A and B are shown apart, each in its own frame.
Chain A
């Protein structure tokens, strides 16, 4: 186990290192992406651009710039090129909307995913199952930003039921917070509900065929008790781990598109705007944040699986 963990940590570090390098290099080769030109301002003379380049170290070798930037990322002093604002502070400020989005949507998609999945499984092959399958597949086939745009138009603009995007702090106006978050939650959840319902359906059907479930039935336990106690409990393992991964990804700014559509000013939108400004430091930090969440939770999921399912063993 210790060896596994050590290998795992080394692997994670290598992946993060590679991602940080890759991000940095992509922005290095962008034509016209020289930050000095933008920072030197309108109608700047070549000399001024050169001065900015020198002052910010853009004229130094790439590896040198990379190391300097990473050092600043690590000690929390990295600032954005475009606004010269501390990136990590800005990300912390962007967290409330992103967390609101992730928590609310996460609860919704988990609840409905499980509900539809179980319903589908216990009515397998019948009308309810087929209808739910269609609903799930439509959800999976719909881009979240298309759904978001439709919600905004019909619920926000036409019916004037909900606000047209933006974020209100939970502490200052709980009801306003709720109404502002409702559409983003829905738009983000639908695709996940589709996936979770499909996964849970298979998982439940699978578990129903297991020996211990048959034993439980044979013992004369009620249908309902078997379902809840034995089947559901075991079928939930993949769902919960999956949820952890998806949740982490959304918190890390994975919901870029939804945040942009609903103007939530979260981590994802910050990342999207920073890319638009070709502002490397924020993009680098957000990318590392997401990658880290994905990598760490991926490891946790693997370990959990190994612990929960005796058929899986950790590799040498």
Chain B
């Protein structure tokens, strides 16, 4: 074959190249086989440190952070580490519960003054700040930090490009800098101009991605060697997907910002994919902290409760799991059919599929999010079995809607227990008179698949949303008509409701600091959503706070936004 079809110049180049590469790789594999022991052992760091002699605690994490470069990381595992190393102009109070959702000044001297039209934010940078590498912090670094996050493609950059004047043009390459940001290195003054008032904008600036990095930081991803920042900790010894460390920032002590604890221990983070194994290790005190993003296997819970009751707690997170119900396609174009689903779902069953770590509920806004309605669910108590009457009503509603016998594809991703949710959900839909088929997609292709109205237009399926920041606007992006798009759809129920739109227009400019004044309005809106049955909520996720006996469990803050606050970790 090779004789007959002579390869072209390009092809022969490739042939040679492929071979060369393969050989090199093969050889390097063989070469390393002689020293199989040459592992890069990562051990506790004593580089300076919280104090040089601080003890070290071990955190076991089931999923590696997507990136430890603050300009790239968007996973909760990433934030958990980076928010302690990259402080922004504002940050969150280091406290549990509602107190932790409060914004406090970070590198700025105080919370900004906001102009009357809500579009101009003015900050003043603290004086004498140093980065972990010793460089002085300049006001102009702020603009560079945001530009870097945008350029490198931070996953949440739409919060920046969508609101700051000139950020979109910068992103598109039409400008060399963000025109809406002005900074004066001499005075430390920083002004940010928004295209329109956006209530949660300060929350956006509290993201670790907006935590200042020096303007000398290279404009390229640095996941293995994260840039210098300002914060109690600095990230060290990164071995991607295996481990990293958190050591004290040598310059922190001198600048200690009030409200931000300096930390007590050095931290070693090891990636252990098997939750069973990590839970056992923490239970046996061979490791110190079980990461809150992981699940203590239900089979182990009885032992945890009996042996470690004083160092285990189930903490609520501000996140909602729900089935979207496509209002633009049969059968859920009918409100009756959507109500039927809400009546028939036994949320306790779904909670069991999640190892009991799901609090059954029916409202989109979860507990802990301002605006969560206090009233009872319109479709029966989600913590109780579905009553025979409600189940009969569900069947009746399907019949009334004229949708009986309609085929429904139930979408979900392959990750447990989301696949199991879909199996259960499909059996419920079948029992009330629809014809459900389960469609499972690999987790990685799931968002793109269900977000494609043009080719897939999914009728219903599982989705979860956890807060980016403590402002209900965040959740209502999911029902905002503006989120509908043919190929990147985020409003999966495709809700286009004038009432929701007008309420959002009124509520979204309200700054997070004044959120309390509009809580009743958010509650009313969320009750309206439930009543319209635009979605079928499963419940809110609970997560484990679980440590070894060495750790002072009571002192460890479970932060409402970032989970376990490692800067509050201390030994007994």
Contacts and interface: CB of A to CB of B under 8 A. Distances in A.
A95 B155 CA distance: 31
A46 interface: yes
Interface stretch (B255-263, B312-320, B442-450): B442-450
Nearest to A279: B444
Interface string A42-57: 1111101101100100
Contact of B444 (A45, A91, A100, A278): A278
A239 interface: no
Q: Which of A37, A93, A278 has most chain B Cβ within 10 Å?
A: A37
Contacts of B155: 39-42, 44
Contact of A292 (B26, B239, B240, B276): B26
A30 B441 CA distance: 11
Nearest to A293: B26
B36 A73 contact: no
Nearest to A30: B445
B36 A103 contact: yes
A2 B523 CA distance: 81
A10 B490 CA distance: 50
B39 interface: yes
B139 to A, nearest CB: 28
A258 to B, nearest CB: 14
Given A34-B448, A172-B43, A288 B18 contact: yes
Nearest to A37: B448
Interface in B127-174: 153-158, 161-162, 171-172
Interface in A261-301: 263, 265, 270, 276-279, 285, 288-289, 291-293, 295-296
A13 B40 CA distance: 34
Given A70-B17, A166-B274, A44 B488 contact: yes
A90 B448 contact: no
A92 B24 CA distance: 12
Given A17-B15, A265-B241, A84 B483 contact: no
Given A43-B158, A96-B37, A292-B22, A276 B443 contact: yes
Given A93-B40, A251-B33, A40 B153 contact: yes
B494 interface: no
B186 interface: no
B1 interface: yes
Q: Which of A31, A43, A73, A265 has most chain B Cβ within 10 Å?
A: A43
Given A43-B490, A83-B240, A252 B29 contact: yes
Contacts of B111: none
Given A74-B17, A83-B223, A45 B280 contact: no
A163 to B, nearest CB: 7
Interface in B59-79: 66-67, 72, 74
Given A38-B447, A44-B488, A171-B41, A289 B22 contact: yes
A44 B158 contact: yes
B285 interface: no
A164 interface: yes
A207 B1 CA distance: 38
Given A92-B32, A265-B271, A32 B37 contact: no
Contacts of B277: 163-166, 263
A99 B43 contact: no
A74 B21 contact: yes
B386 to A, nearest CB: 32
Nearest to A96: B39
B295 to A, nearest CB: 15
B13 to A, nearest CB: 10
B274 A171 contact: no
Nearest to B242: A265
Contact of A165 (B2, B20, B274, B446): B274
B22 A288 contact: yes
Nearest to A277: B444
Contact of A16 (B18, B29, B451, B477): B18
Contacts of A295: 22
Contact of A288 (B14, B21, B43, B161): B21
B72 to A, nearest CB: 7
A118 to B, nearest CB: 27
B487 interface: yes
Contact of A31 (B158, B221, B445, B488): B445
A261 to B, nearest CB: 9
A11 interface: yes
A265 B23 CA distance: 24
Contacts of B273: 263, 265
A95 B444 CA distance: 25
Interface residues of B, number: 74
Interface in A94-129: 95-96, 99-100, 102-103
Contacts, number: 199
Contacts of B276: 157, 164
A90 B26 CA distance: 15
Contacts of A163: 277
B437 interface: no
Nearest to B156: A41
Contacts of A134: none
Contact of A38 (B18, B72, B444): B444
A21 to B, nearest CB: 10
Q: Which of B272, B277, B490 has most chain A Cβ within 10 Å?
A: B277
Nearest to A71: B17
A14 interface: yes
Given A165-B274, A288-B21, A278 B29 contact: no
Nearest to A260: B273
B310 to A, nearest CB: 23
A240 interface: no
B217 interface: no
A112 B277 CA distance: 30
A42 B156 contact: yes
B21 A73 contact: yes
Contact of B29 (A14, A165, A289): A289
Nearest to B65: A83
B315 to A, nearest CB: 22
A279 B444 CA distance: 9
A45 B485 contact: yes
Contacts of B20: 74
A62 interface: no
Contacts of B98: none
A164 B283 CA distance: 13
A117 B226 CA distance: 55
Nearest to B62: A263
B445 A296 contact: no
Contacts of A52: 153
Contact of A14 (B15, B28, B172): B15
B39 A170 contact: yes
Contact of A278 (B272, B442, B477): B442
Interface in B483-530: 483, 485-488, 490
8 pairs of A and B residues whose beta carbons are closest in the complex: A41-B155, A169-B39, A32-B449, A292-B22, A32-B445, A164-B277, A170-B37, A99-B36
12 contacts: A13-B19, A17-B11, A32-B449, A38-B447, A71-B17, A85-B223, A91-B25, A93-B40, A99-B32, A169-B37, A171-B41, A276-B443
